[in-house]
Every structure is written in structure tokens, then in C-alpha cells.
Chains A and B, each alone.
Chain A
Amino acid sequence: SYVLTQPPSVSVAPGKTTSISCGGSNIGSKSVHWYQQKPGQAPVVVIYNDSDRPSGIPERFSGSNSGITATLTISRIEAGDEADYYCQVWDSSGDHAHAVFGGGTRLTVL
């Protein structure tokens, strides 16, 4: 089965920029989606199709995807960005398609 690998945690100071990686076999050939989840809330999509932003998501959130790594970049970090972030793709290598989530990265704002 397809596996997505994320760092368990990242820490960053307010105003700085951070990147969260999502590694997977030939992930560059897939569409990668990113979700933000705050405590007690359902996940919210912040990036879809590698680099598109839903309406209402700040331009500070951006995404890229190439080779074996997709990346979510958050610039000008704010306290409100502190959350868990998950990447997600679809894997169609088997007889049926499956959606796969990464293990998640906890972003801590120092």
C-alpha cells in the first residue's frame, strides 16, 4: 500500500517561514492535498491539487510537488497557524483506488 511520510513536528517563530514535507514514491505524479486541523475541529483543506488555494485560505499558504516530495510552505507564520497538518493523495495502483493520508505534522509556533 502507498505510504506518505511526514515529519512528526516542526517549530517556527512568528513571522518566519516554514515548510512541511510529504514524501511518497513518485508523488510528483499525483495530486497532493493538504489539510489543517486544530484541536477539537474537523480538518480543513488549505491546499489542493498540489498548489491551489481554496477561497478564504491566506496567500501565505502555498504548495509544490515534484519527484518524491510534496511541500507545504507557510510564510509569515502567525500564532493561529499552530495546528496539525496532513497531506493526502489517491493511490490507484491496486484493483481499487484508495485515499491515503500522511501521518501528520504538528506545527508549533514558538
Chain B
Amino acid sequence: QVQLVASGGGVVEPGRSLRLSCAASGLTFNYYSMDWVRQAPGKGPEWVAVISYDGKYKSYADSVKGRYTISRDNSKNTLYLDMNSLRTEDTAVYYCVRDLGQWLMGYFDSWGPGTLVTVSA
């Protein structure tokens, strides 16, 4: 059974930084591309970033490009999201998700419980 456990969320002031981690188990981690998807309170999901299975390709939503960095350590089965220059509108539950199917056409088949990031003064 695939488990994706995100951690690192919390309350942070605008302009500050935060690093999210996602520990993956129950899957051959280095086989899969992985994504971060966030959901603001009362809103729908918003895709944040994708990283290829080997870490060589990354893409970001326009809303976070230049501020967020996605990375992975396949030796530790862990996905990361470094978030800088945080804004109040970044407040959301951040989900680590497995990306299944054809590259850049796939769907998100496994979602962890998510970690809440609150950006507030």
C-alpha cells in the first residue's frame, strides 16, 4: 500500500521560507514522477510542481515559479518542496502525490494526508 506522508507545515510570516518533506513507502519511489498539489481552505486543488523520476525535469505553476523548488532524494524515498518568499495566498494544505500514467499526461493516484501551511503575520 502506497503511503505518502508530508511534513514540515506550520505557521510562517509572509516573506519567510519553509521546507516540506514527503516520505514515501510502499512503492518503488525512483520509478515515478511526483508532484505537489495544494488546496487553499474552501477552494479546489491547485497543481504546484512536478519532478521526473530521476529529478532531471521539473516544472512549476506560474503562481510559484521562481519562489518554490521541488527536489527528491531517491536514496531516501523522499520528496521535497522548498518554499521561499511566502505570501498569504500560499496558505493551503500541501499534498504530495504520485503521478501515474504517461509522462506529463498522467493522473494523481495516491495522495498523502497533506500538511497545512499557514502564511500569516
Residues of A within 8 A of B (CB): 1, 30-31, 33, 35, 37, 42-45, 48-49, 54, 84, 86, 88, 90, 92, 96-104
Residues of B within 8 A of A (CB): 35, 37, 44-47, 50, 59-62, 95, 100-102, 104-109, 111-114
In the complex, are the beta carbons of B44 and A101 less than 8 A apart?
Answer: yes
CB distance from B26 to the nearest CB of A (A): 16
In the complex, are the beta carbons of A97 and B108 less than 8 A apart?
Answer: no
In the complex, are the beta carbons of A84 and B44 less than 8 A apart?
Answer: yes
Give the residue name and chain of the B residue nearest to A101 (CB).
B45
Q: Give chain B residues whose Cβ lies under 8 Å from the Cβ of A31.
A: 101-102, 105-107
Interchain CA distance A48-B106 in the complex, whole Å: 8
* Contacts A31-B105, A49-B101, A90-B105 given; does A42 touch B111 at CB 8 Å: yes
Interchain CA distance A37-B107 in the complex, whole Å: 15
* Contacts A31-B101, A99-B35 given; does A43 touch B111 at CB 8 Å: yes
Interchain CA distance A54-B104 in the complex, whole Å: 19
**Could you say which of B45, B62, B101 contacts A35, with CB atoms under 8 Å apart?**
B45
Give the residue name and chain of the A residue nearest to B58 (CB).
A96
Q: Give chain A residues whose Cβ lies under 8 Å from the Cβ of B106.
A: 31, 90
In the complex, are the beta carbons of B104 and A88 less than 8 A apart?
Answer: no
Q: Give chain A residues whose Cβ lies under 8 Å from the Cβ of B45.
A: 35, 37, 43, 86, 88, 101
